[in-house]
Amino acid sequence: MKIPQLTKKPETKSCHNVNWVDNYSWIHQKDILEVLKDSKKLNPEVRKYLEEENKFTDHHMMGTKKVQSDLFKEIKGRIKLDDESLAYKDHSYEYWTKTTVEGNYSIKLRKKIGSQNVEEIWNGDKEKEKIKTEYFGVGDLEVSFNDKFLGYSLDLKGSEYYTIYIREISSNNLVTEKIEDTTGGITFSLDDKYIFYSKLDKNHRPRKIFRHKIGDKVKNDLLIFEEKSEAFTVGISLSSDEKYFFINSSDHNTSEQYYFHVNETTPKPKLIIKREKGIIYSVNSWNKNFYNHTNKDAEDFKIDVCNDLENQNWETYIPAKNEVLVGGLTFLNNWIIRSEISNALGKIFVKNINNNVEKELKFTDEEVIDPGLSLKQRDRNTDEIHISYSSPKTQTRVYDYNLETGEKKLVKEQIIPSGHSPDDYIVERLECESHDGRKVPMTITRHKKTKIDGSANLLLYGYGSYGNSISPGFSSTRISLINRDIIWVTAHIRGGMERGMKWWKEGKLLNKKNTFEDYIAVAKFLIGKKYTSKKKIIGMGGSAGGLLMGAVVNKEPNLFLGIIMAVPFVDSLTTNLDHSLPLTIGEFDEFGNAKKNKKHFDYIFSYAPYNNIKKMDYPHILITTSLSDNRVLFDEPAKFTAKLRDYKTDNNLLLLKTEMNAGHGGKSGRDGAIEEIAFDYAFALKVTNKL
């Protein structure tokens, strides 16, 4: 089949007296945000190219149709389709969700406390059918405090422009005008007369908080807060003691918070602590005290406490620890619960308020786990919570846990209908030296029958940006590859916060290349230790993890057999130079500001995947993207694919698949998500000759 060709229309670009030619910059439309809302506005020539690439991909993946079907059935077979969540006890009702064999979306149920009469208040599949839409993204689903209203938000394109609806539960009728172009978050006032929401500006950035009176016209909505900086975005939440609303304004690196009392007739947000570059803080309220989770004079965070926001006198409550990420607090009347992450492993601690004794909660004898906790009820006068854990080999287990007695009872275990035995798998936590001597953790999951003699293929997953830590939890989908003798390794590289804030700082801005070096170091370590061999590794990453894939494949292509890049951030220099795009300005403290800072420009230019494609052999590459993605525009992977076709000197597969009705997270619905995973895995099996 003929290889798709994107027309070259050379444009000479210039910045800081550096000139370069971009043959494919023309595919980026100036009205791109309008295209995200309405795909009919897409340039017909670009649409034709994307469709040709899709046909080319279908042609080369045709031989994998059976394995895609098998994988789909396997993955779906590990999901208990007719399942119910544990109930959460609110003021008057218990609420929970369920899924069905036939459905792709969740159903929200409730019953009055003490009653057996179950009421269905939301059914995602019925809502989707009613609207007649292919893409159906549910943003928020909130019930008002008096249990009278259901608030929900929908994105019908994948572009994350959410419309908010408020429905009376008893009549199922809408009770107010729909509110368009929001982030999707819905916060009810305690008297249920209002909702608070954040509005998107023309650049898809939420910088305004409005109050909407239920039943009133949207044009009458009250603007209660506006962020002036284009780099900062805003959100609103209710304090744990339900006495204050907090407005948080932040970019990735700096935050500022405001508060107002829940009973204020006309909210007038008051500043808590003035923003200071590089300082992140978040204040919560409980039992007449205010708790501040902050990295001020505490690189890996601490928690301070004071009793008055008008006259602040902060004292240390939880001190900072070196390379231990101190998490936030969960409050009960007699207990305060908190989390920590160190060496890419989470821990949970509980403090008895009455005697001030704190202890770590122990979940299991397994060492590499992902622990969690959740409240069972809104009333905080209780000693009981839910605790849970999973590991790369053990499915999620949830327990009723009594904080006073230490008793725990298994109340829900993730059921794998097709069967699963954790004892068939081996989990290891190892670490290796990176280029500068820093120790990089990795989590290895393999079948016990897989030989460690260099013969096995290995999938190496990485992300490494925005301080996002990759936790070692259970994934039923990965078993499909692991059972086929492919070792799964997660590299906990710099750019995340698996080893605290320092781990993030060492993987961003002018340290960004550490992220790539760490990943390469892990790959070489695994080869050296005979977990795999050169050209037997499949690299995998999405979004900023796609930036990682693009950078490492340009630098060390000979390490890899294949690369899977999902919605990849591969034209990072172009995006950084375009300050009109939704995320660019807010990410200056993550990647730099190439337009204003020559050092940043030179550094980004030196690793940006699109700008560093070379005349050489590349491994097999699968690139997936979505037409309505506002976070990483489809034109980035499209340009990258076209240029890579020009330069690569091999005959290996280079496939671009564009979802024409999806966003950053891919297709909507359970089956859609499984189809995408099955497709990616089929590509991995194709290039490893395991079909």
- Identify whether the C-beta of residue 572 lies closer than 8 Å to the C-beta of residue 595: no
- Identify whether the C-beta of residue 634 lies closer than 8 Å to the C-beta of residue 627: yes
| 666 inside domain | yes
What pLDDT sits at residue 607?
A: 98
In Å, how far from its chain's centre is CA 275? 25
| 542 inside domain | yes
| 567 inside domain | yes
Full domain range(s) for residue 464 = 419-687
- Identify whether the C-beta of residue 672 lies closer than 8 Å to the C-beta of residue 632: no
β partners of residue 279: none
Cβ neighbours for 13, distance < 8 A, ≥ 6 positions apart? 19, 20, 21, 22, 25
CA–CA separation, 630 vs 369, rounded Å?
34
- Read off the pLDDT of residues 426-479 as tens digits, 9 standing for 90 and up: 999 999 999 999 999 999 999 999 999 999 999 999 999 999 999 999 999 999
What pLDDT sits at residue 3?
A: 96
> How would you class 190 by CB atoms within 10 Å of its CB: exposed for 0-12, middle for 13-18, buried for 19 or more?
middle
Domain count across the chain? 1
Helices marked H in 85-180: 124-131
Task: Report the 10 Å Cβ neighbour count for 182.
Answer: 23
CA–CA separation, 501 vs 300, rounded Å?
5
Closest of 549, 482, 529 to residue 684, by C-alpha: 482
- Identify whether the C-beta of residue 283 lies closer than 8 Å to the C-beta of residue 239: no
- Helix-strand-coil split of the chain, %, nearest 5: 25, 35, 40
What pLDDT sits at residue 363?
A: 85
| Residue-by-residue DSSP string for 583-617 | TTGGGHHHH--TTT-HHHHHHHHHH-GGGG--SS-
| 443 inside domain | yes
Q: Quick one: DSSP state of residue 187?
A: E
CATH code at 501?
Answer: 3.40.50.1820
What pLDDT sits at residue 683?
A: 98
- Identify whether the C-beta of residue 625 lies closer than 8 Å to the C-beta of residue 658: yes
What pLDDT sits at residue 252?
A: 84
Closest of 556, 552, 547 to residue 617, by C-alpha: 556
| 564 inside domain | yes
| 607 inside domain | yes
- The torsion angles phi and psi of 511, rounded to 5 degrees, stand at -110, 10
**666 φ/ψ sector (left φ>0, alpha ψ -120 to 50, else beta):** left
**Lookup: tokens for 458:** 């290995």
Q: Are β-strands 119-123 and 233-238 bridged in parallel, bridged antiparallel, or unpaired?
A: unpaired
What pLDDT sits at residue 526?
A: 98
**Lookup: tokens for 534:** 């050169």
Closest of 683, 250, 681, 200 to residue 479, by C-alpha: 681
CA–CA separation, 480 vs 681, rounded Å?
8
- Identify whether the C-beta of residue 181 lies closer than 8 Å to the C-beta of residue 199: yes
What pLDDT sits at residue 481?
A: 98
* Predicted structure pTM score: 0.95
CA–CA separation, 204 vs 156, rounded Å?
16
| 524 inside domain | yes
Q: Which residues does the chain have with pLDDT short of 70?
A: none
CA–CA separation, 423 vs 229, rounded Å?
53
- The torsion angles phi and psi of 116, rounded to 5 degrees, stand at -110, 5
What pLDDT sits at residue 591?
A: 97
In Å, how far from its chain's centre is CA 487? 24
What pLDDT sits at residue 685?
A: 98
- Identify whether the C-beta of residue 290 lies closer than 8 Å to the C-beta of residue 284: yes
| 389 inside domain | no
